[in-house]
Amino acid sequence: MSLMDIKERINRAETKANRPKGDVTLIAVSKVQSNARVEAILSEGHRVFGENKVQEAAGKWPAFRETYNDVDLHLIGPLQTNKARQAMTLAQAIHTLDRPKLATTIARIAQEIGSCPDLFIQVNTGEEPQKAGVLPSDADTFIKDAIALDLPIKGLMCIPPAEEEPSLHFALLAKIAGRNGLAGLSMGMSGDFESAIALGATHVRVGSAIFGDRVYD
């Protein structure tokens, strides 16, 4: 699908949900994609991108930014504490705050450098042992603690279990965000972004539907 097609589908989903056009931010997930494919999307005017590895993002985006200085980069993959500083200087948003140690590390670095990317707290809505994120039952406390650290918490993020109905997870995430007064909802990928928008997504993370399949070597 082209970028235009995806944007049209997002607009239709916004309208259907009685939301204004442009309410939803499309994060084009460019992990593993070739520079040529990324360049093509940049040249169409899109500026919001997502990467899941700090290393890969650091190797790729500084060069693109020499030409496109208004790139808005979102980190959407698990973040090691020892990569927090690099992540914070590279990205405008981090979607995967998921543990106290990372929260205090980010808070300390933010004090030091005088800025902090927008933060989303990842919630493991499916309670999958192998998946990152705070458990739904721990979310309220974790959110309050993170806000108490003066961190710019914009909202919550989830990756539903592959084999379950994603809507249940989107609804749960929206409920947790709502009762904690958080407006941002990072949810929805290539296969389910329309239902995420119906349930209030403010940020959808779409990779393969824009760029084509990821080819790992």
Ligand X SMILES: *Cc1c(COP(=O)(O)O)cnc(C)c1O
- Residues at the site binding ligand X, with contacts judged by CB under 6 A: 29, 31, 52, 76-77, 159, 189-190, 205-209
Judge whether 190 and 208 are in contact, CB under 8 Å: yes
Phi and psi at residue 144, in whole multiples of 5°? -60, -45
- CA-to-CA distance for 24 and 74, rounded, in angstroms? 15
Cβ distance to ligand X smaller for residue 142 or 211: 211
Nearer to ligand X, 59 or 115 (CB): 59
Q: Pick the closest to residue 77 from 186, 209, 193 (CA basis).
A: 186
Nearer to ligand X, 77 or 200 (CB): 77
CB of 14 vs ligand X, minimal distance in Å: 18
Asked if 2 and 178 count as a contact pair (C-beta separation under 8 A), the reply is: no
Q: How far is the CB of 209 from ligand X (least distance, A)?
A: 6
CB nearer to ligand X: give 131 or 147. Answer: 131
Instruction: State the nearest-atom distance from the C-beta of 217 to ligand X, in Å.
Output: 17
Q: Using CB positions, name the residue nearest to ligand X.
A: 207
| Shortest distance, position 137 Cβ to ligand X, whole Å | 22
What residues form DSSP beta bridges with 75?
51, 94
Question: Residue 108, Cβ neighbours under 10 Å: how many?
Answer: 13
